[in-house]
């Protein structure tokens, strides 16, 4: 599934090719996405200028003259810039034809993506649209730090891994990046979130920033389907320390990496480098 770094990589790649252009037409080959494309949508978008593109969590918001396009890549989606003469492949469901002759193509084999027109401008949509209004802070933004995580965790009784993967707590910390961040912070993924002290959350907030920042710089993580806006893969997978490495030696201490299910997701950790805090070892 494309995570925050993959979506940010896509945004950075396509932004210069969208802003200042005009939508000539929307070509719909398959309207049956997670939310169906209404038949009137091509007419609604035709001729609209594109003012800006921004990311919020894993969503992209394309600001138009009248409303916005809300895009989510789902589990296997991608947005790619292709030549106008490029023949569509299987699962190329949508094309945005642009005034400079460019073509933005939405590819989604599993059809879990979202491509919606909404009547609000991005500033309004961020606080009113049901898909956006309950999202937590951006992990790379100024409102995210260890103190925030510590305060938010006091009334929760879930594992720390599930806690940081909750988009209402902080957006964009998907399974891969949660595993990697917890390893660098020295925190076992099965720790109860309300058992971690302020210093632990300071470390964790910092490692989340480091891991996501590094993944963005390397173009995301290549796992199954993800490629960036030009069709090139990301390379962060080559830097993974624990994710997907069950049974392999820890890159720090050599202890075999362990795997267990936490919150119905595969979790990877080093039993020596990552501490399991308990109620007995650390009071509430």
Binding residues for DNA: 91, 110, 156
Let me know if residue 135 belongs to a domain. no
Same domain, 174 and 204: yes
Same domain, 155 and 200: yes
Q: Hey, which residues does 104 pair with through a beta bridge?
A: 81, 96
Same domain, 114 and 168: no
Same domain, 67 and 165: no
Q: What are phi and psi of 26, to 5 degrees?
A: -105, 125
CATH of the domain at 207: 1.10.8.50
Same domain, 176 and 227: yes
Hey, what are 258's tokens? 């362990």
Binding residues: 91, 110, 156
CA separation for the pair 147, 70 (Å, rounded): 31
CA separation for the pair 52, 66 (Å, rounded): 12
Active site residue 265: yes
Catalytic choice (5, 8, 56, 58):
58
Q: Which domain holds residue 200?
A: 146-269
State the SS3 of 110-172: CCCCEEEEECCCHHHHHHHCCCCCCCCCCCCCCCCCHHHHHHHHCCCCCEHHHHHCCCCCCCC
Select the more confidently predicted residue: 181 or 264. Answer: 181
Active site residue 2: yes
Same domain, 184 and 263: yes
**pLDDT value of position 234:** 43
Same domain, 121 and 212: no
Q: What is the mean pLDDT of residues 208-226?
A: 71
Let me know if residue 275 belongs to a domain. no
Let me know if residue 40 belongs to a domain. yes
Largest pairwise CA distance in the chain: 66
**pLDDT value of position 3:** 83
User: 190 Cβ partners below 8 Å, 6+ apart?
Assistant: 159, 160, 161, 260, 262, 267, 276
User: Residue 76 above 90 pLDDT?
Assistant: no
Let me know if residue 112 belongs to a domain. yes
Give residue-wise pLDDT tens across range 180-212: 999 999 999 999 999 999 999 999 999 999 999
Same domain, 83 and 163: no
Q: How far is CA 271 from CA 142, 250, 251, 277, in A?
A: 32, 9, 13, 12
User: 101 Cβ partners below 8 Å, 6+ apart?
Assistant: 84
Q: What is the mean pLDDT of the chain?
A: 89
Looking at 66, 94, 128, which one is the last position of a domain? 128
Same domain, 12 and 108: yes
Q: What is the mean pLDDT of residues 165-185?
A: 95
Measured from the Cβ of residue 251, the count of other Cβ atoms closer than 10 Å reads: 15
CATH of the domain at 109: 3.20.190.10
Active site residue 58: yes
User: Residue 237 above 80 pLDDT?
Assistant: no
The model carries a pTM of 0.86
% of the chain beyond a pLDDT of 70: 90
Coarse DSSP helix, strand, coil percentages of the chain, rounded to the nearest 5 percent = 25, 25, 50
Same domain, 79 and 35: yes
Same domain, 150 and 207: yes
**pLDDT value of position 276:** 76
Select the more confidently predicted residue: 59 or 6. Answer: 59
User: 31 Cβ partners below 8 Å, 6+ apart?
Assistant: 37, 38, 39, 93
- Using alpha carbons, select from 110, 104, 93, 99 the residue that is nearest to residue 53: 104
pLDDT band of residue 239 (cuts 50, 70, 90) is confident
Domains of the chain: total: 2
Let me know if residue 282 belongs to a domain. no
User: 157 Cβ partners below 8 Å, 6+ apart?
Assistant: 192, 193, 194
Looking at 94, 128, 162, which one is the last position of a domain? 128
Catalytic choice (3, 6, 8, 63):
3
Let me know if residue 137 belongs to a domain. no
pLDDT band of residue 282 (cuts 50, 70, 90) is very low
Catalytic choice (35, 54, 251, 265):
265
Let me know if residue 207 belongs to a domain. yes
CA separation for the pair 226, 13 (Å, rounded): 14
Same domain, 120 and 232: no
Let me know if residue 22 belongs to a domain. yes
Looking at 128, 163, 190, which one is the last position of a domain? 128
């Amino acid at each position: 599934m494309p995570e925050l770094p993959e979506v940010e990589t896509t945004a950075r790649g396509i932004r210069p090719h969208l802003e200042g252009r005009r939508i000539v037409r929307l070509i719909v080959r398959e309207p049956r996405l997670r939310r169906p494309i209404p038949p009137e949508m091509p007419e609604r978008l035709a001729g609209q200028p594109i003012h800006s593109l921004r990311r919020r969590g894993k969503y992209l918001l394309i600001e138009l003259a009248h409303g916005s396009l809300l895009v989510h890549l789902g589990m296997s989606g991608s947005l790619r810039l292709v030549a106008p003469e490029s023949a569509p492949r299987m699962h190329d469901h949508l094309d945005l034809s642009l005034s400079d002759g460019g073509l933005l193509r939405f590819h989604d084999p599993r059809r879990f993506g979202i491509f919606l027109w909404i009547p609000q401008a991005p500033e309004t949509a961020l606080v009113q649209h049901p898909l956006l209004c309950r999202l937590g802070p951006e992990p790379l933004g100024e409102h995210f730090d260890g103190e925030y995580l510590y305060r938010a965790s006091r009334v929760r009784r879930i594992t720390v891994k599930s806690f940081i993967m909750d988009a209402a707590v902080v957006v964009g910390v998907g399974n891969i990046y949660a595993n990697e961040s917890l390893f660098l912070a020295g925190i076992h993924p099965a720790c109860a979130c309300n058992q971690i002290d302020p210093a632990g959350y300071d470390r964790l907030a910092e490692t989340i920033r480091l891991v996501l920042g590094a993944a963005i710089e390397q173009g995301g993580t290549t796992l199954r389907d993800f490629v960036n806006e030009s069709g090139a893969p990301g390379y962060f997978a080559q830097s993974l320390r624990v994710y997907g490495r069950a049974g392999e030696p820890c890159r720090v201490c050599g202890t075999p990496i362990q795997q267990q299910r936490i919150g119905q997701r595969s979790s990877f950790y080093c039993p020596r480098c990552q501490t399991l805090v308990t109620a007995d070892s650390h009071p509430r």
